[in-house]
Structure 1
Amino acid sequence: MLKPLEWQDRPALIEHLFPVQKLSVESYKERMASHGQHLVSLGAFWKGRKPLILNKACILGALLPTTEDSLQDLEMFELLMGMDSQSLAIRQGRIKPNAIAQCVSGLIVADWFEVTPEHADVPDITPFDVNDFPCEVMRNNKKQTVAPKLSWRTTISEQQKLHWEAQALPYNAYRSNVSIAKRPEELIDEVHRHIWPRINAFYGTNAFSFPEFIEQIGIARFGHRPKVADVFCGSGQIPFEAARLGCDVYASDLNPIACMLTWGAFNIVGASPEQRRNIDKAQKELAEKVQQEIDKLGIETDGQGWRAKVFLYCIEVICPESGWTVPLLPTFIIGQSYQVIAKLKPIPAEKRYDIDVVYVATDKEVEAAKLGTIQDGTVIHSPDGETVYRVSINTIRGDYKEGKDNKNRLRPWEKSDFMPRPDDIFQERLYCVQWMRPKPNSKQFEYQFRAVSEDDLKRERIVIDYVAKQLADWQEQGFIPDSVIEAGDKTDEPIRTRGWTHWHHLFNARQLLFHKLVNELSDATGKYNFFQALNHMSKLTRWRPQAGGGGGSAATFDNQALNTLYNYPVRSTGSISNLLLTKANSSTLPTYSKKSVKCHSAQHLNIENDIYITDPPYGDAVKYEEITEFFIAWLRKNPPAEFAHWTWDSRRSLAIKGEDEGFRQGMIAAYRNMAQHMPDHGLQVLMFTHQSGAIWSDMTTIIWASGLQVTAAWYVVTETDSALRQGANVKGTIILILRKRHQHLETFRDDLGWEIEDAVKQQVESLIGLDQSVRAHHPEGLYTDADLQMAGYAAALKVLTAYSVIDGKDMVVESEQPRRKGIKTFVDELIDFAVQTAVQFLVPVGFDKGEWQKMTAVERFYLKMAEMEHQNLKTLDNYQNFAKAFKVHHFDQLMSDSSKANSARLKLGAEMKGHLMSGNAEMANTPMRALLYALFEIQKDVEVEDVLLHLMENCPNYLANKKLLAKMADYLAEKRGTLKPGKTFKPDQEASAARILAEAIRNQRV
């Protein structure tokens, strides 16, 4: 048991151990929950979210102290995280006695269970299959054969039940057990109820909930409830989890939308049940009021009992070659499941097309309508069915270059515009309406697509005239945006492609009317569903004919851009009002802890906090400072009182972004300020997700210049294919643990090598020892080679960043030096040196250090990844990270063509065949390449003597490398032999060939 007075001086748990493999599994499960993730319901448009389970781990890891018993430390941490076997049993819904009896050995049935029927003839000792011991019972006056049913004896405690349930988990692998379990946060306190006696005994606390525990360990470490801050709070994931645990929380961000999302996490998702009832009531009243106002205008009903569900619009242009006005439809399919298509009906006298809406009889007819009038930026139409006109949109728009600028003939829209003027190049047209009405004596609806009628056009004119009359007043009152779209990487798109210059131009008349009403009538808590409505109701939403119910719409920010479209849906009030009634997820927060949200830059922080956990912006991050202006524009002039003191501007010029010098200097200022507002024994956890090697180097220089020191580094897979939408590019989160650099130490580069190597060795051996201890009791270990690699980096950087002066140079000054393209700085060279020292220590079993260092980078990479595949760790990010570590620039040349994000692999020798043997390829002219070609030849049944002759010819300096080649072959035989074959993937054959070749090399007389 720890004495509280000892806590201040002890390292934090996260500085010594972190079960990254289990955390990766849990993070993946949370990601796959999609909208089941707690805070997504506040704003799905914000994609950059670190999993709550990972945030919880970082917060606890930063607060918990280490002891002399690492295994006990790990066990306590897993209990608190709901990752122990007993918690898994609870998360799976409790394991039944019959299941326990079937798979747990040595359990005496009579000691633990009652048997029903009582006379069932079952053995005393488990395991047994109850189905093998049937008995007869009378049911409904008939004899029936049933299996005995076991139930717990009434004297058995919950802790005893959990003990045996944990022994009966259905799978050995943690990943498999988690896949059928609920997430810990779904069970709130239930999953942790059993842990407190053991936690209290170990830490000397007296807690029976997280808030109680957090307060007590905070007092032990800092003298008060811990203060956790995130100055890049984004969607509020980190502050919310800190508040849920019971910490005092300070959250800030430069962007007011980020601050709103964090405020909503505290005050909506974290609201009390009574507060949630009031919020839900207000949302219902809002939806009813908006519907009433729309109904007064009579613009969504046809007078025959039908109410509009969706209005479909398209762009129209005049074809310069034919003079015809052409509706731009990417597809003629309107509703795939309803077999509804659009058909163009030429009106030669007016040189335009009517659009008929037709229900067809077959899927073939639907398929024939797949291609519309706009394909790959080309307008295609034929008024007479014979002559086909093809004109580029670029030509119609008049695109041209003026210097570096893209320009065109589009008229820039003005503040008073909300629809095209008659002489504009792009016109907009309502071409179809989907109607709905209740079925008789049913709660269900029938639906119908119709072409636009004269009555529809009259109703359309009512909307247009109403908006035209009111627009200026609405803008003045702040209910409709009047702000200009500022040019930028993402915001240039609507300006360049449509001539839209103000944010309200991204919405048509019906959408402006609806959003004005919601904006005017909603309070602070109602603005979140208002934002969801904005996201789902703009001219940038796509119509999806293939969606269920005859079709559906995709949100504006399905991807993080402002893409203009040729056709778009406008949902009716009744359809979109469902969003106004959307209930946010709920997880009531402790009321006594402090929760503060401020809108300012990280550089302007002026309050001290004990722990900073941040997920800062980085080079390839989403440009929220641009795209959130889409939402900011609606609240800029008239925000709710709760947010009125914030600056309602994205303040792009102040945002930390990119990979340039401004990014580095902004980050240095931010982290230096945090270090200055942190106690001497405070701690920072810096998370970043990035694949750029430059950013890794930048982060190190930022830390150095900020007066901080790396004490640990971890890597957790946090992103999924679906989350990233980038094909084969799975990303993980690098987690750096930072402390203040207290001493002014000086050294020389020559002395650093030994010190770094000793630190890496000590760190890696420590983790390997812990991993082996865990494996002795459980088939899964804690760490893989990738984790050890990251730990090696951390050890190297810990040594490096501990020094203030190296080779007589002030490292703060050196870190602040501007980068020049193509020129390595002194800091870059030091980081490369440290990383390479760490990498060289990770020598695979079977090779000595001299042999390992003698190999080329690409050979070491190939062998190391063969080991990773042997461990079944085949995510592409592992290959990417090791390629960077070994400085292999074209590792993709070595990867199988079938590699995917979560199932990547190296090419076998049989797959490489004769490729990459010579030329500029990194693998060319290396002993490894010669060896792989020899394996290919053996599998092609080439005589072994000839294979050896070819190996001698292909391998440089064969005699000197002969022993190493045999070791390489043995190594590949071992690693390949465990892989599961596929249709074309034959690792077993390669393993057999490697064994033959290794023996032949050793027995060869030269």
Structure 2
Amino acid sequence: MSSRKSARTTPTDVRERLIDHWFPCAVVDAAVGSPAGSGRNEKAIFPWFASRPIAQARAAVLATLLPNDTTLRPWVERAVQEGAPGAFDQLAEAVRRNYGGRAPVMVDMFSGRGIIPLEAARLGVSAVGTDLSPVATFAGRLLADWAMRDWSGEALLPFTSGKATARTLAGQDRLVDDAQLFHEEIGRRTRESLARYYPLNPDGRPPWGYLWAVSMPCDQCRRRFPLIGSYTLRQPYRRTQDGGQSMSLVISDDSWRVEVIEGTTDDRPTYASAGRKGKSARCPFCGHLHSLETVKAKGFAGQYKDEPLVAADFDSGDKNTRKLFRALRDDERKAARAADPAVLPKAGRLSAIPDEQVPNGNVHTVMASGYGYTGYGQLMCDRQTLMFGTIAQEIRTCHQEVLSAGVSVDYAGALAGFAAATLTRMLKRATRGARLLTHGRPDGSSQNRVQVDHIFANEASLAFQFDFFEAGIGEGPGSWAGLTKTGLGPLAAHLRGRRGGSARLRCADAMALPFRDGTVDAVVTDPPYYDMIEYSDASDFFYVWLRRVLGEIQPDLFADAIGSKVAPDLQNKDDEIIVRRVYNGGVRHDRDFYERSLSRAFHEARRILRPDGHLVVVFGHSDPDAWLRLLGALHDASFVVTSSWPSRTETSNTGVASIKVTLTIGCRVAPPRRSVATAAQVDREVTTAVTTAVRQWEADGLALTDQLMAAHGPAMAVYGRYSDVLLPTGEPAGLNRYLTLARTAVRDASAVKIDELPLETFDAPTRFAVFWQRLHGRADVPKGEARFLAQADNLRLEDLRGPLLTESKSGFKLRLDAPGTVTERSSAFEVARAMAKAWDDGGTEAVARVMAIADRQANDAHLWAVVAEIVRQLPAGEPAAKALTAIQRNAATIGTMIGYVIAAAEAETDTRTQLTLSFGEDLL
């Protein structure tokens, strides 16, 4: 009791950290595109979802733990950009000095695959990662715990695989060496056990894989036919004179067979799109079309049947690089159908094959469940299932033999863990959603590689299709041998960067952290983003297999009792802090739940932090409301936001462009007693703070787009000084007021001018359009960023859509074509665009008429400044630029004609308020 009290009341070091004033934004942006900074190497060891680039995690950890010392910045940049060992050594020593010679304690309460704890461990920090998901925690142990330990004192493994000892693999790390032997032994035993189900070719080698399809009976003729979505096996490639290969479906009476033909085919697939109604199945015997609903009903009625179609071999004369396809032999077809996973013994207390059921309504995540495959054990054909069950069994057996040979429990568990990771990587390419991925084009104009696609194409759900690929027991894409090579290579590279110590990874709820009050120096975390990914649902497919391999080896993660009330024997969903798209009963995971739970997690972070502790949150979302709620939750949890540093990392790492920018948000524990302030006072302080920060950011070379995001930091730092900020009415001033004010202050502090006229003197839509054009030009801008820009001028994005912006799937783009109409209420930017179109349609008189209708005088400096601005920003060859350049040259003539146009209009209508313009009509 007394120790807990002292931890909260003892005077502590309140020095500022580097992140409060600086973050290597540009270096992070550059590093995430490199092999060392992207995190792809680590992801090759274990697959996880929406994985953060390692460069961003490294920068966040370093900037959080280091003092605000400008001499450290070059070392941080070297560590982030190059992973330079010398830089890490310098920075690790600086961290230790900053904490009085001790190793600080750093926690990541949403650790995922453990990248943040890994980077902290490299610095010799006492790093702990917690995650609700056992699968994520297991991934973290692979990368940040087991891989970071020194295993050189362990006993030799009992497997030699034809080698003299387990140390003959010269030049490799002990862990990589032994993991390779462990994998090779599992592979050898698996091949021997399953040899009768995978007949060899005449040259003594097995095929590298097999293409399958599901068949169903026709409702009209009752004959069974395969559901094939593509007949292409390998595209042609003119450069190598490769004509490609295709399948041909041959119909004979009541039977069908598949032949392999050279070249391409125009045959219609039996399962293809039928327009707006989705896909349909066409019977090749009678031509009857089955709707998608009918096809799905066949699955729920148990009328599907797995059919092996073709075998895939390597071209023996082409250095084993080109894949050749052929029809199956009779012995291969019989062997494939003979496989029965029921022969496997139980996996401890569990069945050998997963019998866990996919939760109802989970079709959007496990798509096969919408076609009648309602159990996780049904997601593969029987032979695939038998292979995975056999590999799981062999991992457990080899683990026991390693223990018997004198290897420590931890090391044996680590070796079994890396083997289980390879099994998981196989799962990623081994279900009814693993399609044959044929690169190239039908015209042979591009390279025609053939691979096995993975099932998480969109990072969040298990794909499904009726024709799928099965990797064989030999070598090749998706096979145990192939994935061993592609996994142990990245592991070896990962170990070459080993320094510091290992992290601890625990399965725990972020809303109930297993740490005492006031004992943690820093919390650095990357929380889930609303409904972006349903992590547990997506990884349950891994979980049901991992618990069969590691249930008795890692019991704290994969013991039988783990599960929720909603979905027994699966991962805990009740406490998962996400927005769930489908309500399956139990806890309703809506936006209120997410925001309430995330706030509780931040309160937990506040509880465990020392009074001088720092919280850093990495967060990315395209909706400004999400940012508003996040910052509000931090404020409510008694944190003062000190900084917000943007990084453009998502597309570089994952290929998913739904989020273009993520923020690394620095926070400090709020002082115990804060005063109340008026909104007017805080408005002035925010404007001053942002203006001061802009000058420093410009000196540091921070891009203007990044300054707009970074401005949240100083604005929130001012806002967080006070317990309440009150309007003259006594009502609280909302956060949104200060996020908007911060971005406006950046623009004003940047002294943006148009022909020496300050930007703030223009109308709001024109300010918005000009600033947008300078920032983004003609590029597409995500909706969230567009909304942020609009808010800086107190505009609504909904009002700008059409007059100033066009919308597409990739975002918003600034309009430079003519507006539909112009009136005296039109913005200067719209009038300038209308003038460009008028010039093309009717020359000087038409332009004068536009200006008259818009009530613009010949000497309107703001209008002519906008015309000049558009010309400057556009390429000279753009039609609008050409037209506006011509208008500039004829400005005097146009100015003279405005009076004539107005006089003529008044004579005709007796009032100029009725003048309107529609570019759908004749201008003259």
Q: Can you list the C-alpha shifts for 1:237-296, whole angstroms capped at 9, x where unaligned?
A: 21112222332211110011111111111245545522222222222222222222222x
Structure 2 residue matching 1:42: 3-state secondary structure? coil
- Cα distance change of structure 1 residues 995 and 80 upon mapping to structure 2, 3 Å threshold: farther
Compute the displacement of 1:345 (Å): 2.5
Q: Please state if 1:617 is matched with 2:546.
A: no
Residue type at the aligned position of 1:308: P
Residue aligning to 1:506: 379
The yes-or-no answer on 1:883 pairing with 2:790 is yes
Partner Cα separation in structure 2 for residue 935 and residue 381 of structure 1: 54
Give the equivalent residue in structure 2 for 1:78. Answer: 74
1:196-228 Cα shifts (integer Å, max 9, x gaps): xxxxxxxxxxxxx52453244333345522222
Residue in 1 that maps onto 2:608? 677
> Is 1:969 the counterpart of 2:864 in the alignment?
yes
Note the C-alpha offset of 1:627.
0.9
1:233 Cα deviation from its structure 2 partner: 0.7
AA matched with 1:39: E
Does the residue aligned with 2:346 lie in a helix, a strand or coil?
helix
Task: Determine the C-alpha separation between the residues in 1 that align with 2:539 and 2:884.
Answer: 54
Equivalent residue number for residue 52 of structure 2: 50
* Greater displacement, 713-722 / 266-275: 266-275
Choose which of 386, 394, 400 in structure 2 pairs with 1:521. 394
Deviation at 1:318, TM superposition (A): 1.9
Which of the pair has the greater relative contact order for Cα pairs under 8 Å at 6+ separation?
A: 2
Structure 2 distance, partners of 1:56, 1:725, is: 21
Provide closer, same or farther for how the CA distance between residues 214 and 357 of structure 1 changes in structure 2, counting only shifts above 3 A.
same
Contact 2:523 2:605 in 1 (8 A): yes
1:514 partner letter: M
In the TM superposition, what whole-angstrom CA distance separates every residue of 1:667-702 from its partner, at most 9, and x where no partner exists?
Answer: 111111111111111111111111122211210221
Given candidates 304, 313, 327, the residue that maps to 1:451 is 327
Tell me the residue number matched to 1:801: 720
1:701 alignment partner AA: G
SS of the residue aligned with 1:602?
coil
Q: Mapping of 1:715-794 within 5 angstroms?
A: 715-720=646-651, 723-725=654-656, 729=658, 731-747=660-676, 751-771=678-698, 773=699, 781-784=701-704, 786-794=705-713
* Structure 1 residue 536: Cα displacement: 1.3
Assess, with a 3 A threshold, how the Cα gap between structure 1 residues 568 and 515 changes in structure 2: closer, same or farther: same
Shift in Å, 1:40: 1.3
Closer/same/farther in 2, CA of residues 885 and 282 from structure 1, 3 Å limit = farther
TM-score, normalisation: structure 2: 0.77
Asked if structure 1 preserves the Cα contact closer than 8 Å seen for 2:628 and 2:735, the reply is: yes
Q: Unaligned stretches of 5+ in structure 1?
A: 1-5, 68-72, 88-182, 193-208, 399-408, 412-422, 775-780, 812-825
1:487 to 352, 360, 363: 360
Aligned CA RMSD, in angstroms, stands at 3.8
- Preserved contact between residue 478 and residue 634 of structure 1 (Cα < 8 Å): no
Shift of 1:77: 0.8
Question: Who is 1:600 aligned against?
Answer: 508
The structure-2 alpha-carbon separation of the partners of 1:935 and 1:266, relative to structure 1 and needing over 3 Å to count, comes to same
3-state SS of the aligned residue for 2:706?
A: helix
Residue type of the partner of 1:706? Answer: A
Helix, strand or coil at the partner of 1:525: helix
C-alpha change, 1:660 and 1:43, in structure 2 (3 Å) is same
| Distance in 1 (alpha carbons) for counterparts of 2:643 and 2:879 | 39
For the 8 Å contact 2:249–2:259, the answer to whether it is kept is no
Q: Output the amino acid matched with 1:623.
A: E
User: Over residues 957-1005 of structure 1, what are the superposed CA-to-partner deviations in whole Å (9 max), with x where a residue is unaligned?
Assistant: x57xx88x523532552464254456x5654654664686599779988
1:329 and 2:235 matched = no
**Aligned mates of 2:703, 2:367 — CA distance in 1:** 48
Out of 436, 460, 464, the position equivalent to 1:543 is 436
Equivalent residue, structure 1, for 2:25:
20
Deviations 1:9-59 (A, max 9, x none): 43222212334234323334459x87x733111223x23122222222222
Query: Does the aligned pair in 2 maintain the 1:721–1:730 contact within 8 Å?
Result: no
Q: 1:268 to 1:318 in 2, by over 3 A?
A: same
2:597 paired with 1:666 = yes
8 Å contact from structure 1 (residues 11, 65) kept in 2: yes
Match runs of 1:804-883 below 5 Å: 804-807=723-726, 830-841=734-745, 842-843=747-748, 844-846=751-753, 857-869=764-776, 876=782, 878-879=785-786, 881-883=788-790
In 1: Cα distance, 2:788 partner to 2:531 partner: 17
Contact map agreement 1:301 1:307 (CA 8 A) in 2 = yes
SS at the partner of 1:679? Answer: strand
In the alignment, the residues of structure 2 paired with residue 63 and residue 716 of structure 1 have an alpha-carbon distance, to the nearest angstrom, of: 19
Tell me the residue number matched to 2:838: 937
- Asked if structure 2 preserves the Cα contact closer than 8 Å seen for 1:299 and 1:459, the reply is yes
Amino acid corresponding to residue 10 of structure 1 in structure 2? R
Alignment-derived partner of residue 704 in structure 1: 635
Aligned to 2:539: 628
Is this contact kept in 2: 1:618–1:657, CA < 8 A? yes
User: 2 CA distance for matches of 1:250 and 1:999?
Assistant: 74
Identify the residue that residue 245 of structure 2 maps to in structure 1.
Answer: 340
Letter in 1 for 2:613: G
Looking at structure 2, the residues matched to 496 and 521 of structure 1 have their Cα atoms a distance apart, in angstroms, of: 29
Q: 1:266 to 1:378 in 2, by over 3 A?
A: closer
Task: Check the 8 A contact 1:490/1:626 in 2, yes or no.
Answer: no
Work out whether residues 431 and 451 of structure 1, in 8 Å CA contact, stay in contact via their aligned partners in 2: yes
The match for 1:184 is 82
Question: For 2:687, what is the secondary structure of its paired residue?
Answer: helix
Q: How many residues align?
A: 794
Structure 2: how far apart are the matches of 1:432 and 1:793?
Answer: 58
Give the aligned partner of residue 157 of structure 1.
none
User: What are the superposed Cα offsets for residues 630-673 of structure 1, whole Å, 9 maximum, x if unpaired?
Assistant: 01001235526663212554201110002611101111111111
Q: 2:622 aligns with which of 674, 691, 713?
A: 691
TM-score by length of 1: 0.72
1:127 equivalent in structure 2:
none
- Give deviations 1:83-102, integer Å, cap 9, x for gaps: 9xxx9xxxxxxxxxxxxxxx
Relative to structure 1, the CA distance from residue 873 to residue 424 in structure 2 (aligned partners, 3 Å threshold; closer, same or farther) is: closer
The 3-state SS of whatever aligns with 2:249 is strand
Cα shift readout 1:586-623 (whole Å, capped 9, x = no counterpart): 23466654521111011222333211111101113211
Distance (Å, rounded) in 1 between the aligned partners of 2:17 and 2:653: 34
Change (3 A) 1:1002 1:310: farther
Write out aligned runs for 1:87-102 (5 A).
none
**In structure 2, what is the Cα distance between the partners aligned to 1:653 and 1:721?**
33
1:436–1:665 Cα change, 3 Å: same
CA distance, structure 2, for counterparts of residue 939 and residue 7 of structure 1: 71
Partners of 1:588 and 1:663 in 2: CA distance: 39
Preserved contact between residue 642 and residue 717 of structure 2 (Cα < 8 Å):
yes
Partner Cα separation in structure 2 for residue 259 and residue 995 of structure 1: 68
Query: Which of residues 291, 295, 311 is equivalent to 2:191?
Result: 291
SS in 2 for 1:368: coil
CA contact (8 A) 2:110 2:510 kept: yes
* Contact kept? 1:858, 1:888, Cα under 8 Å: no
CA distance in 1, matches of 2:469, 2:322: 19
Relative distance call for 1:966 and 1:536 in structure 2 (3 A) is same
1:450 aligned partner, one-letter code: R
- Rounded Cα–Cα distance in structure 2 between residues aligned with 1:283 and 1:998: 82
Give the Cα–Cα distance (whole angstroms) in 1 for the partners of residues 707 and 425 of structure 2.
Answer: 43
Distance 2:266 2:483 in 1: 35
CA 688–489 in structure 1, closer or farther in 2 if over 3 Å, else same: farther
